[in-house]
Structure 1
């Protein structure tokens, strides 16, 4: 199995292809191969596994995933400038890499993967949250998701109740997955350096959601509750119709509570009260 021994350093690749990170694509290239290796290893043992990557760019993380032994790597890259250099990476790793020139928000993962896969990605900042929400809805397709976000978004995913970062993303992620923060990455590690710190998060989808609730209803309840997070729930839930106090009582929640005080289990109870 070839492991990329013939590939030039990433900085040489960027110079050869005249790659400048495009702000409109949310690009920041990670060139430190020690760091990309560390990210890939967060996913666990990759030998023989199928992996999906979004936004490979010059292929630093791509190389790391293939070096860790992934049998099949499907990379989704919107930027046509990167396709030729990624073809070189594929050739040097026994063609275990397939590159698709697509928009990750538009693709059908079901058709692409064919079996349960890991997602490992340095996500473009401008589409990171919509991609996560899309994948949470398709979580049955994935064994794990090792994703890099800007720190502020990562903090929201793992946030506990009664904290400033706690909100809709925390509840949805923690209801459907085991979530854990892996490590932070300094802006200096990227080309060009972003203005913010990045954080790698690992999400492992649960076989069943943590508590019983209908996702559509849970999302509506959580959106209403956090839409006016400073208000008491008896007021913030009014847009949902009906008598909020009755629903709250049914769920065993004080009407004077505020959204950030409720844990995932209580939100699920509230969603069941709205069924």
Structure 2
């Protein structure tokens, strides 16, 4: 069976170092070592060969037909836990019949953020996610408030998951070598069941202020809370001391507080407009 040709349009960089492949595969063992595992983008199965040996239900999802054919011919001759398709379009509740699972993989760098947003949307199904991504993105996810890398992914993921930066991987162990360093991370669900705010508005607030991360909150939030004729509540909102901060200075909990402030102000403004139009 000939080897699979890495495809640029799929962002494929095949890991060639078996010791690193095993280290990544073993990240799924803690803290959920007994629930199923889903691997995204197995390629030629360098990680898969170690994952399939674990005594737990296991499946892979692969969009590349050439890789699917290779895996069927090499690793999955008797059983066929291969889902051929696009992970981003899948209904994850159908993968293990609604059962929770660990998500892992050597994720395509150009869609890793989209993969993690899907993870967040299915956080009740995915108590743990591990794998390899671009080092810059890994640092962003794991970064703390007050750091340059802290941003949208940091806040949205850390609201629901505890993040561990595990180790760095050099470009030389890939075919073809990427132009950047890679890193392996693990994200484990924290104890938060619900944020103490409107969760849709929370995401909107986080994205809004980080899209103008160099500006103070009182400037960037005018996209959400803006009135040509400010009433007293709106004035008080922008006068609050938190408005002199920039988004990278806020903790997750402070973003929750800020979201509640935004929602309260929007509600007051709506009531003000409705009364004034009567």
Contiguous gaps of at least 5 residues in structure 1: 1-15
Task: Find the counterpart in structure 2 of residue 64 from structure 1.
Answer: 50
Could you tell me how far 1:184 is from its partner in structure 2? Answer: 0.6
Larger Rg: 2
Task: Return closer, same or farther for 1:220/1:26 CA change in 2, 3 Å cut-off.
Answer: same
Write out per-residue CA displacement over residues 52-105 of structure 1, whole angstroms, 9 at most, x where no aligned residue: 0110000011111122x14221111000001122123023xx62x511110111
Matched, 1:260 2:260: no
Residue pair 1:49, 1:70 contacting (<8 A) in 2 also: no
Write out per-residue CA displacement over residues 153-191 of structure 1, whole angstroms, 9 at most, x where no aligned residue: 111101111211111100001101011101111101111
CA distance in 2, matches of 1:47, 1:203: 14
CA distance in 2, matches of 1:34, 1:163: 32
| TM norm structure 2 | 0.85
Task: Return closer, same or farther for 1:70/1:122 CA change in 2, 3 Å cut-off.
Answer: farther
Task: Find the counterpart in structure 1 of residue 111 from structure 2.
Answer: 127
Could you tell me how far 1:211 is from its partner in structure 2? Answer: 4.6
Contiguous gaps of at least 5 residues in structure 2: 264-278
Task: Find the counterpart in structure 2 of residue 183 from structure 1.
Answer: 167
Could you tell me how far 1:143 is from its partner in structure 2? Answer: 2.6
CA distance in 1, matches of 2:189, 2:24: 18
Task: Find the counterpart in structure 2 of residue 246 from structure 1.
Answer: 236
Residue pair 2:6, 2:14 contacting (<8 A) in 1 also: yes
Matched, 1:25 2:10: yes
Matched, 1:38 2:55: no
Q: Superposition RMSD on alpha carbons, in Å?
A: 1.9
Matched, 1:99 2:99: no
CA distance in 1, matches of 2:165, 2:193: 20
CA distance in 2, matches of 1:216, 1:41: 35
Report the number of matched residues: 254
